[in-house]
Amino acid sequence: MNRREFLTALGITAVGTQLGCASAGAGAATGSRRLKRVGVQLYTLRDDARRDLEGTIANIAKIGYKEVELLGSMNNFGMPPLRLRSILDANGLTAPSTHIGTEVFDDLNRQIDIAKILGHQYLIVASLPDAERLGADDYRRWADRFNEAGARAQRSGMRIGFHDEAWDFRPAEGGKVLYDLFAERTDPSLVWLQLDTGNAAVGGKDPLVYMQRYASRYSLFHIKDAPSIGASNDTELGKGVINFRRLFEMIDRIDEKHLYVEQETYPGAPIDSVRRDYEYISRLEF
């Protein structure tokens, strides 16, 4: 089941803006700061990367991105770690983090060795297996596994994190949200959180509310826009409802954090959207 099918089955529909997700340009005061560096999640250019990973990395650097979050979950499209690291270095890019699957927990030492070659500081689980079918107790069990894996990784100088998907924001018993159950059960000293702003919005939640709730837990971000709260897809940055200026103002020590542009659906060629996304986010003052 893909995201669109899941949301249709769940009955989430576009309900307009909520709380902090007003248009980024609507009445917001303009500051004088800009991001010092902008990253991109490689999944944004997944089809290009399948065809030509080296050329895609070169194009990412030419646009102006300084960081790229890799896809260990897709085995980096079959490219050996040493070769991939040399391509990143040649293009002046760093890869502070990668997305992985939970199966890595069963072979964590090997994944950490690969991560160190590639210069990763974080191993971020992209999503829980069959998460759209899981309940509260499942999320609690996974939280315990993350705590255990986080402790093991920390001994090797690596950090374990969790990236939200839309289905993580489903309601559980007692009015709780599954994502909150997971976040509250994981140990902040062992498990980091990566806020995907667009996925939260697609899941029916205002990402700025989650910034208020878990700001100290977020060291990494997917900067993704959505046409409305509860929409079934994302959109190019600045064309949706998320107030990124306000979001950036809420991020403490933002220059130490890792912010990756991510877009999953496009009006045309993905590389053109990636270029427009960069132009928008790199010029945004806050």
Query: Using an 8 Å Cβ cutoff, are 278 and 64 in contact?
Result: yes
CB atoms near residue 144 (< 10 Å): 12
pLDDT tens digits along 20-73:
554 444 334 567 899 999 999 999 999 999 999 999 999 999 999 999 999 999
Look at residue 32 in the predicted model and tell me its pLDDT.
87
Burial (0-12, 13-18, 19+ Cβ within 10 Å), 185: middle
Residue 149 sits in which domain range?
3-283
Q: Using DSSP, state whether 142 is helix, strand or coil.
A: helix
Cα separation, 125 vs 265, whole angstroms: 21
Q: Interior CA angle at 40 toward 36 and 45, to 5°?
A: 155
Cα separation, 239 vs 9, whole angstroms: 26
Kindly report the CATH number assigned to the domain that includes residue 168. Answer: 3.20.20.150
Look at residue 173 in the predicted model and tell me its pLDDT.
80
State how beta strands 191-196 and 159-163 pair: parallel
Domains held by the chain: number: 1
Look at residue 20 in the predicted model and tell me its pLDDT.
59
- In the chain the beta strands, taken as DSSP E runs, fall at 39-41, 67-71, 97-100, 122-125, 159-163, 191-196, 218-223, 258-261
Cα separation, 148 vs 154, whole angstroms: 10
Ranges of the chain whose pLDDT falls below 70: 1-30
pTM of the model: 0.91
For residue 33, give every residue at least 6 positions away whose Cβ sits within 8 Å of its Cβ, in sequence order, or none: 248, 285, 286
Within 129-243, residue ranges assigned H as helices are 136-155, 178-185, 197-202, 207-214
Look at residue 281 in the predicted model and tell me its pLDDT.
98
Nearest CA-CA partner of 192 in 165, 159, 151: 159
